[in-house]
Chains A and B, each alone.
Chain A
Amino acid sequence: MLVHSLEVETSPDRVVVLGARGFIGAALVAGLASDDVPSLALDRTRLDLLASNAASTLAGFILPTDCLVVISALTPDRGKDAATLMKNLSMGQAVADAIAAAPPAHVVYVSSDAVYPDDAALADERTPAAPASFHGQMHLVRETMLAAVFRGPMARLRPSLVYGRGDTHNGYGPNRFLREGQAGNPIKLFGQGEEMRDHISIDDVVELIRRTIRKRSSGVLNLVTGRSASFRDVAVAVGHALGRQVEIVGAPRGGPITHRHYDVAARIRAFPDFTPLDLQSGLARALG
């Protein structure tokens, strides 16, 4: 589902990163620096996408040879309500207006697998997007907003649950479990942690974004490992990574159990020589 414009990997003249202080953005900027790829790291202190002049300001930054990576978003830990949705859409509109006024060479939109329906037990890039949450709806609309104004190659990357060093969130999963374990607290599961999810290391997410940039790719790609694990298995793996016995406690379940697996055939086709970290290796890296 991802089509490469460039046969041979070629770094762009510059990468403009929106959301450069966030979890993924900061890791990407560091990765680009290690590749010696010039980048313009824009965070809220340099560009407030909710400001009335955001579009024109951003347009002033973009050069025609740039690759623009859009990661900036108010994540669910900052709000799951309609007001947050509308702010996110306003930010998306500002980016779309800027792209319309000053199109770059390549756009990479970092979306989310929240665009897929919650009951899609086995998903791939062809799974119809039917987001149940404002967060998923926001990403889907923003994908559409940018595609509507940009005629060049645009990649829509949809990561699953991302974990690793530098996480600015504390969502249910590896990062929170690591924090709980490191603090000597029990790891608290919903139910018995039966739900299967695909957890991907930040290092793999950054690597896939870098490859997408270098191949000037367009289309949709899920940033996933293809190896789902239950939250209980993740908790056990965290214990192993910490090298000590960690108490794991269940709690009454609020909703039904859902699972999510990914078919990664499209990723294999896009990047045949890419292999994601297994959970244990990823957790070890997260611990540094």
Chain B
Amino acid sequence: MSGLTVAFAGLTHLGIVSAAAAAEHCDRVIGYDADAGRVADLAAGRLPIEEPGLADLVAKGGNRLTWTSDVGALRSADLVYVSIDVPTDAKGVSDLRSVEAIVERVMPALSEDAVLIVLCQVPPGFTRRIPRPAATRYYQVETLIFGRAVERARQPERFIVGAADPSRPLPSSYHRFLSSFGCPILPMRYESAELAKTAINIFLAAQVTATNTLAELCEVTGADWNEIVPSLRLDARIGRYAYLAPGLGLSGGNIERDIVTLTRIAAERGTDGGLLEAFAANADYRKDWVLRALHHKVMDKSPNPVVALWGLAYKIGTHSTRNAPSVALLSALPTVRFRACDPVAELPSGGFPNLERFDDPIETVRGAAALVVLTPWPEYRDANPGAIARAMAGRVILDPFRHLDHAALVRSGLRPSALGVSQ
């Protein structure tokens, strides 16, 4: 796409992945961040985040992709995305100050014709308040999923675009850029687009909550959720892509943040937010599945056991431990000695004195009363059940996502437990 320069202001997960994907579609992509150290790392090829396929995509961008901490470099851009991940506090409340700050910082640097596009997760009304002419001010929904961010940035399902007047055509530069991805473009008013991302997450939360509620019922009624799932997938009203894998509540923070945001808006505007509160309560409750199971199966008999953890990241394909079950478990049981491994994730040094790290999964379980599989990294599946059984002192395996071969574990004398099946 000759002649088009696209910039991304804010180089957190969202900005880096989006910039790398954009480089496949235009001649020049500028990644801007005020953090000179971060920019220097990126310029030197050191990625500050872990995301499958990202290193290759950045390398593929070559000279088309440049990183800078000079806000003046944005003057040459036709499109400027505000692309930082919105930080949230421990309760999932979004802190929009960083978005507001970056908007304030970049606007004076833009050319008059440049189109400013907010790509961050913001509440309804945010983009309309930005003091920039409506013809060059847009909102676009991001659909980043940790671990699948590259795939989704390169092959989006659709573009949801918020505009002051959705009946008017998009600026030609913006339209050309989006069209190059070959997916539908859905223009709507700002507030609809801002709420659309939240709406997607709320529907996902509904599916996750229904799945987790039913999975727990399976655990106490003799049913097996895995046997039920195919019948739901074949129901056209539910569908093959529905979120039907039981989980430890909601994790990662984005869906929780949207629940918190909408609950607050519902309270402010006087609409019924009871369902949202129920999602949040169920998520909190199911997050403690491992804690309860560990206490019931191990600590009831041995109050201060050694417990092995396979996986610290909140999901595979990412280094992130934000809102990860591992962190919650380590925090909840400071008197328990944990032995853990994870191929990627790091925890703050000194943050968990009760944790010892290992590289080898079998070495990790040595002498442990229980093994807890919290991140289903593929290499764990290759671990020999006999070797696990020989290394462990106890027999309890808590494998909530049923990542391991439970039949093989049972044959080795181990006692695996998973979400959605009677123990």
Contacts and interface: CB of A to CB of B under 8 A. Distances in A.
Given A126-B281, A263-B285, A272 B292 contact: no
A263 B333 contact: no
A273 interface: yes
A268 B291 contact: yes
Interface stretch (B171-179, B295-303, B370-378, B410-418): B295-303
A275 B295 CA distance: 9
A273 B335 contact: yes
Interface in B297-332: 299-300, 303-304, 332
Contacts, number: 40
Contacts of B295: 264, 268, 272, 275
A50 to B, nearest CB: 40
B93 interface: no
B288 interface: yes
A253 to B, nearest CB: 25
Interface string A249-273: 0000000000000011100110011
Interface in B335-350: 335-336
Contact of A272 (B281, B284, B285, B332): B332
Nearest to B333: A272
Given A126-B281, A268-B332, A269-B332, A275 B292 contact: no
Interface string A1-35: 00000000000000000000000000000000000
B214 to A, nearest CB: 15
A124 B291 CA distance: 15
A272 B335 contact: yes
B292 A268 contact: yes
Given A272-B299, A272-B303, A273-B299, A264 B335 contact: no
Interface residues of A, number: 12
A82 B101 CA distance: 59
A226, A269, A274 interface centre (most CB from chain B within 10 Å): A269
A268 B336 CA distance: 12
A272 B336 contact: yes
Contact of A263 (B288, B299, B300, B336): B288
A275 B303 contact: yes
Nearest to B287: A265
B267 to A, nearest CB: 15
Nearest to A278: B300
Interface in B278-296: 281, 284-285, 288, 291-292, 295
A211 to B, nearest CB: 13
B248 to A, nearest CB: 12
Nearest to B334: A272
B303 A265 contact: no
Contacts of B292: 226, 263-265, 268
B304 A273 contact: yes
A226, A263, A268 interface centre (most CB from chain B within 10 Å): A268
A25 B261 CA distance: 46
Given A265-B288, A268-B291, A269-B332, A275 B281 contact: no
B285 A275 contact: no
Contacts of B291: 265, 268-269
Nearest to A267: B295
Contact of B299 (A124, A265, A269, A275): A275
21 contacts: A126-B281, A226-B292, A263-B288, A264-B295, A265-B291, A265-B332, A268-B291, A268-B292, A268-B295, A268-B333, A269-B291, A269-B332, A272-B295, A272-B299, A272-B303, A272-B332, A272-B335, A272-B336, A273-B304, A273-B335, A275-B295
Interface of B: 281, 284-285, 288, 291-292, 295, 299-300, 303-304, 332-336
Interface of A: 124, 126, 226, 263-265, 268-269, 272-275
Given A126-B281, A265-B285, A275-B300, 8 more contacts: A264-B292, A265-B288, A265-B332, A268-B288, A268-B292, A269-B291, A273-B335, A274-B303
Closest 8 CB pairs of A and B: A273-B303, A265-B288, A275-B300, A269-B332, A268-B295, A272-B333, A272-B335, A265-B291
